[in-house]
Amino acid sequence: MPDTTQSGTAYRAWIAPLIATVLTLPASLFAFVFAGLTPMACDSCNGAEADRFTAGFDTAYAVLRVGLGVAFVLLLVGWCLPWSARNAVPRWVLATLAPCTVLLSLLVFASMVPWPS
């Protein structure tokens, strides 16, 4: 049972969104840096291999941006939920899903990129 004050607002309800923010924002920055450096893997590519890499990278980068956008929306909703005791569980769920979404997006991005051999 979450701690509540007499007015029904959840006591320490800000902890879950804060932890999620501290984990999600640096992970998102890392994901963007990783995605930004990924095209260097195909610096020596030419012709058909470069075209294949570019097409795959463009699709994978779009998926990464959508995934990071979803993570940001999850964070925002977690912070914007009313600070009542009945929203404690949804707040914790959203706080857990935000960093997991970043990790999943990065893994999907890395698996979608056609890495040069």
Per-residue pLDDT for 90 more than 80? yes
Mean local confidence (pLDDT), 51-65? 96
Per-residue pLDDT for 31 more than 60? yes
| Integer Cα distance of 75 and 9 in angstroms | 20
Give residue 1's pLDDT: 47
| Integer Cα distance of 16 and 24 in angstroms | 12
3-state DSSP helix/strand/coil % of the chain, to nearest 5: 75, 5, 20
Give residue 85's pLDDT: 86
Q: How confident is the model at residue 112 (pLDDT cuts 50, 70, 90)?
A: very high
Mean pLDDT of the chain: 91
Mean local confidence (pLDDT), 21-39? 97
**Residue of 49 and 10 predicted with greater confidence:** 49
Per-residue pLDDT for 55 more than 70? yes
Mean local confidence (pLDDT), 89-108? 97
Give residue 9's pLDDT: 73
